[in-house]
Structure 1
Amino acid sequence: MPHLSTHAIICAVRPHGEHGAIVRAMTPRNGLVSGYVRGGRSRQMRPILQPGNIVQAEFRARTPDQLASLTVEMIHSRAPLLTEALPAAAIDWTCALTAAALPEENDYPALHQALDGILTAIEAAPAARGWAVALVRYELLLLTELGFGLDLAQCVVTGARDDLTHVSPKSAAAVSSAASAGYEARLLALPRFLTAGGQAEWPDILDGLRLTGHFLERSILTDRRRDILAARERLVERLKRAVA
């Protein structure tokens, strides 16, 4: 990628050197791309290099193996949301997950679209009711795109396609109400909105977050990636307090 000009969503910013920053940004056609921003820690650049912001990005590298230099111009700022605890936690987690989970420069158009959609939903409805379902669906989509999707089409025990109420934490496959009887404590609840669509009540949303959280931690957020789980824990606790 000697030169790439595109709009992008800022996902992660890491200090580098005395004044610079390494930025990871999600692009529509090239997936997650990293670049070095000269002066990225300056007072001028800090408001631009915030997770969730949309920028016009220019990546330039002399060789495919070289970290690209990156220049950015603001297209849309979501910085005002970062002063509100719940939206800030949601943006922090969603962007951190994207940056930590995805391999570089692999095309994930569905994830880019979904990430942009959930950030837009957070901006439109900071109170969380409008975006919490989308957050669960985004985590589920990310698992699927990375090859760790859940099999929610039919019961893994009986083959039934109706009344699916749980998921096996080992096989990631759905289990019907009849097959799960007596084993509920060993299984993960499957909220109805993940199979039937539509909106959801808060108990179902929290069940959805427990479900996706289990498989994110088991399959993706391992080893060095595990440290970002603290951001998810902060978000879930704030959601619980908000609906208590």
Structure 2
Amino acid sequence: MEWRDEGILLTTRRHGETSAIIEVFTSAHGRHAGVVRGGTSRKIAPVLQPGAQLDVTWRARLEDHIGSFTVEPLRSRAAAAMGDRLALAGLNAVTALLAFALPEREAHATLFTQTERLLDLLGQGELWPLAYLRWEVLLLEELGYRLDLGACAVTGTTEDLVYVSPKSGRAVSRDAAGDWADRMLPLPDVLRGIGPAPDNEVAEGFVTTGYFLKAHLAQDLGTKPLPEARARFVEAFTRRL
């Protein structure tokens, strides 16, 4: 069995004396693991940094084996992240969430393309938080937790939509929420792609996407908690408000 693809490095762990097991997110083969022979060497180890774009070739005797990777670096994103605390926290959040949430070996080509574009914006502090919020919305959608924010779930109106139902993920208008308003999640305009994107609205958006990541996605995956890297990024972002 053999295939070749581009991948974004998600995780690396030592394997034996000189090898490493890596997980990459590829366009055609999804989240995929494999052994890199000599992955701890001075030549290869610097290439195997989270977020790195790699040309990978995977080989195995049988399809269900872990197999082995040969890797060629396409571009590193470490430099853009290391000089900026928020960028580093964001990079760690993206790779941790993908490693946590993606089913193994299931292709998500649209999500791969948007992840690649998001990571290429690292270091552009004015653009990155909004791009990351939109990426979380897409991640939820790709994994079956689409937020339906176009019209009120109760009345059907498209006016004065200010809440999201924590149960259904649908928009709710101010009037329709009534006595349930304090149990609703915020729906800032930025989540609907309307108007400018002030940081306080982006922060409200993180409250809503974070709820669905934790209470729906993580819960459905079993006992694993949502990666702490996501909370650390949101905390780093909100500290600058």
CA drift of 1:218 comes to: 1.4
The gaps in structure 1 that reach 5 residues or longer are: none
The gaps in structure 2 that reach 5 residues or longer are: none
* Aligned CA-pair RMSD: 1.6
The ranges of structure 1 where at least 4 consecutive aligned residues each deviate by more than 3 angstroms after the TM superposition are 196-199, 222-225
What residue in structure 2 maps to residue 159 of structure 1? 156
Q: Residue 133 of structure 1 contacts residue 199 of structure 1 at CA under 8 Å; is this kept in 2?
A: no
> Compared with structure 1, are the counterparts of its residues 196 and 178 closer, same or farther at alpha carbon in structure 2 (3 Å cutoff)?
farther
CA drift of 1:14 comes to: 2.4
CA drift of 1:178 comes to: 1.5
> Compared with structure 1, are the counterparts of its residues 225 and 48 closer, same or farther at alpha carbon in structure 2 (3 Å cutoff)?
farther
Q: Residue 30 of structure 2 contacts residue 106 of structure 2 at CA under 8 Å; is this kept in 1?
A: yes
CA drift of 1:188 comes to: 0.6
> Compared with structure 1, are the counterparts of its residues 198 and 113 closer, same or farther at alpha carbon in structure 2 (3 Å cutoff)?
farther
Q: How many residues align?
A: 238
Q: Residue 47 of structure 1 contacts residue 79 of structure 1 at CA under 8 Å; is this kept in 2?
A: no
1:2-151 maps to which residues of 2 (within 5 A)?
A: 2-83=1-82, 84-123=84-123, 125=124, 127=125, 129-151=126-148
Distance 2:16 2:2 in 1: 23
What residue in structure 1 maps to residue 233 of structure 2? 235
CA drift of 1:141 comes to: 0.8
Letter in 1 for 2:147: L
Partner SS state of residue 161, structure 1: coil
CA drift of 1:86 comes to: 1.1
Q: Deviations over 1:29-82 (max 9, x none)?
A: 222221111222333222211111101111101101100201111110111134
CA drift of 1:163 comes to: 2.0
Q: Deviations over 1:177-214 (max 9, x none)?
A: 22124433211101112223454101110011110000
Which of 188, 209, 215 is 2:212 aligned to? Answer: 215
Letter in 2 for 1:118: L
- TM-score (normalizing by structure 2): 0.92
Distance 1:103 1:240 in 2: 30
Letter in 1 for 2:201: D
CA drift of 1:224 comes to: 4.8
**How high is the sequence identity, in percent, across the aligned residues?**
37
Q: Residue 189 of structure 1 contacts residue 211 of structure 1 at CA under 8 Å; is this kept in 2?
A: yes
- TM-score (normalizing by structure 1): 0.91
Distance 1:89 1:23 in 2: 20
Letter in 2 for 1:101: A
Partner SS state of residue 216, structure 1: helix
Partner SS state of residue 225, structure 2: helix
